[in-house]
Amino acid sequence: DIQLTQSPSFLSASVGDRVTITCRASQGISSYLAWYQQKPGKAPKLLIYAASTLQSGVPSRFSGSGSGTEFTLTISSLQPEDFATYYCQQLNSYPITFGQGTRLEIK
């Protein structure tokens, strides 16, 4: 199985900050990586797919990059509604796997 390791696991930041979350895959997954945002008690929401393609309706302050084994999710200027948990997901091969999550909290 492909393991995904996110860093950091916990991030404290302020409104307006630029933040970056990293996702590393245990083997190459080309660009078959998606990012999701999850708020407490809610289902995950798709933000980015194919490593860097913004899902329709997602604000442009979110961006993704990377290919192979290293990927990043960047939020250019944090807004209050962005404080949530973020997960990466690989869809290169079955079983589909997720990173352990990055919890983003208000400083």
Contacting positions for other proteins (CB under 8 A)? 32, 34, 36, 38, 42-46, 49-50, 53, 55, 87, 89, 91, 94-101
Beta strands in 1-107 (DSSP E): 4-7, 10-13, 19-25, 33-38, 45-49, 53-54, 62-67, 70-75, 85-90, 97-98, 102-106
Residue 16 or 95 having the CB closest to other proteins: 95
CB of 17 to other proteins, least distance (A): 24
How far is it, in rounded angstroms, from Cα 90 to Cα 68?
11
CB of 98 to other proteins, least distance (A): 4
Residue 17 or 68 having the CB closest to other proteins: 68
Residue 17 or 100 having the CB closest to other proteins: 100
80 three-class SS: helix
Strand 10-13 vs strand 102-106: parallel, antiparallel, or unpaired? Answer: parallel
Residue 55 or 72 having the CB closest to other proteins: 55
How far is it, in rounded angstroms, from Cα 107 to Cα 96?
33
CB of 15 to other proteins, least distance (A): 26
